């Protein structure tokens, strides 16, 4: 079975072909991600209207490249899976309309996929992780712990009370004027910094749940910058390292509570979403999992950030379960994982 996946929910125009091969390595037949970073860089964040227009411009060549790289034509495609939410509505609409048009004209089964489910199931594509598992989803728009019970059965154990983790990285990077997107910029800078130099407050300390909060931390960085002590590159590197460490401390503290909320069937601690590309955070999570006798799994870095292989895979699991979508589904700007019951 060959599934064409399409993803346009934020600032990446992506298309991929994934098949049902037994070994994980052969499953991804192509994976094309066209990043729009250069179009948004001068604004220091994603501008929805620019993103929608760019998706419209790049969608067709991106899909054609995915088929070409896979050495397939549309006649070889058994199903089309497309992100139909949550995300920026203009972008989602472009992907969804393209997918519907191809599916209709070529008579191919069609599925609208929840973007978060794509991130959530990526480790099944890459590492054959069995259900159930504890998922930490940390991206630019989402930050939550999810008990992944089985396909379509997701229980959110805790979520952010304010910003998402990636959003905090992006906003702090913008305040520090170190580049966009903020996560990779801060991680790079932190490599040469002293994480002990600045003492930043650890959010929600002592709270016995697994919710997150990043806004106080962000304000502390703003206050520090306002004092005028951060002047040279080394100061910025030290601040980046201190910030990254306290974000990781917070994530580890929350993950520790989340692990206490699931039973012994949950042998795996899994991370997904753009912030999961951060090697420092991955290493800290790995250490925690070892201590708690769990197996830690993170997808390869390029499958942590937005891509269409994860959408194709979620589609493949759903098609195999006999599910399809009607052609009248609409794009959903909000679409919680818990509402996906099948
Ligand atoms: O999953 P994703 O590509 O898009 C959303 O669905 O949100 O995540 C993008 C987010 C951005 O906020 C970006 O700054 C963050 O992931 N990110 C990182 C790293 N790479 C990407 N955050 C920390 N460290 C990184 N290396
Ligand atoms: Zn994402």
Where residue 281 sits, what CATH number does that domain have?
A: 3.30.420.40
b/e per residue 1-12 (b: at least 16 CB within 10 A)? ebbbbbbbbbbb
Number of Cβ within a 10 Å radius of residue 155:
14
Does one domain contain both 176 and 286? yes
Co-location of 40 and 98 in the same domain: yes
Q: In what order do the strands lie in the sheet with 28-35?
A: 28-35, 12-19, 2-7, 79-85, 110-114
Give the separation between CA 322 and CA 202, rounded to whole angstroms: 46
Q: Are residues 166 and 74 in the same domain?
A: no
Same domain for 291 and 310:
no
For ligand 1, atom 22: residue with the closest CA: 183
Regarding whether 164 and 181 lie in a shared domain, the answer is: yes
User: Looking at the 3D structure of the chain, how many domains does it have?
Assistant: 2
What is the rounded CA–CA span in Å between residue 185 and residue 181?
7
Give 48-66 pLDDT, tens digit per residue.
999 999 999 999 999 999 9
pTM: 0.96
Pair (35, 70) in one structural domain: yes
Q: Is residue 126 in a domain?
A: no
Q: Output the CA 200–ligand 2 centroid distance in Å.
A: 28
- Residue 133 β-bridge partners: 148
Average pLDDT, the chain: 96
Verify whether ligand 1 is closer than 6 Å to residue 152 (CB atom).
no
The tokens for 95 are 């992907």
User: Is residue 310 domain-resident?
Assistant: yes
Are residues 78 and 108 in contact, defined by beta-carbon separation less than 8 angstroms? Answer: yes
Q: Same domain for 141 and 242?
A: yes
What residues make up the domain containing 10? 2-121+303-339
As given in the structure block, the two tokens for residue 204 are: 């929600």
Tokens at 69, concatenated: 């790289």
Confidence grade of residue 40 (pLDDT, cut at 50, 70, 90): confident
Please indicate, yes or no, whether residues 80 and 194 belong to a single structural domain of this protein. no
One domain for residues 288 and 146: yes
Residues 41, 186: one domain?
no
Within-domain flag for 334: yes
Query: What percentage of the chain has pLDDT greater than the value 90?
Result: 93
pLDDT of residue 175 exceeding 80, the answer is yes
> Is residue 173 included in any domain, yes or no?
yes
- In tens, the pLDDT along 82-138 reads 999 999 999 999 999 999 999 999 999 999 999 999 999 999 999 999 999 999 999
Q: Quick check: is 165 in a domain?
A: yes
Instruction: Give residues whose Cβ lies within 5 Å of ion ligand 2.
Output: 139, 306
**Which ligand sits closest to the CA of 88?**
1
Choice from 34, 51, 274, 283 to test ligand 1 binding pocket (greatest atom count within 8 A of CB):
274
Are 225 and 319 members of one domain?
no
Same domain, 325 and 254: no
């Amino acid at each position: 079975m060959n599934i064409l996946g399409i993803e346009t929910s934020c600032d990446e125009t992506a298309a991929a072909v994934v098949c049902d091969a037994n070994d994980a390595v052969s499953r991804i037949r192509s994976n094309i991600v066209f990043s729009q970073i250069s179009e948004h860089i001068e604004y220091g964040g994603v501008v929805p209207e620019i993103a929608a227009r760019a998706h419209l411009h790049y969608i067709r060549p991106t899909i054609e490249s995915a088929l070409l790289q896979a050495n397939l034509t549309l006649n070889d495609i058994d199903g089309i899976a497309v992100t139909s939410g949550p995300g920026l509505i203009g972008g989602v609409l472009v992907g969804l309309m393209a997918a519907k048009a191809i599916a209709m004209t070529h008579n191919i089964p069609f599925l609208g996929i929840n973007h978060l489910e794509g991130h959530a199931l990526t480790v099944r594509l890459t590492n054959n992780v069995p259900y159930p598992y504890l998922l930490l989803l940390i991206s630019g728009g989402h930050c939550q712990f999810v008990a992944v019970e089985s396909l379509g059965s997701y229980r959110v154990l805790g979520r952010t009370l304010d910003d998402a983790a990636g959003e905090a990285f992006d906003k702090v990077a913008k305040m520090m004027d170190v580049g966009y997107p903020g996560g990779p910029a801060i991680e790079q800078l932190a490599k040469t910094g002293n994480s002990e130099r600045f003492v930043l407050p650890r959010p929600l300390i002592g709270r016995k749940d697994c919710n997150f909060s990043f806004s106080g931390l962000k304000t502390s960085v703003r206050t520090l910058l306002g004092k005028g002590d951060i002047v040279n590159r080394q100061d910025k590197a030290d601040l980046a390292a201190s910030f990254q460490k306290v974000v990781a401390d917070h994530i580890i503290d929350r993950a520790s509570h989340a692990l206490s909320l699931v039973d012994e069937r949950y042998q795996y601690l899994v991370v997904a979403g753009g912030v999961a590309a951060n090697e420092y955070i991955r290493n800290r999570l790995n250490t925690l999992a070892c201590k708690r006798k769990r197996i830690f799994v993170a997808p390869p870095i390029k499958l942590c950030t937005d891509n269409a292989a994860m959408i194709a895979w979620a589609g493949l699991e759903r098609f195999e379960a006999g599910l399809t979508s009607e052609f009248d589904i609409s794009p959903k700007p909000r679409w919680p994982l818990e509402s996906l019951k099948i």
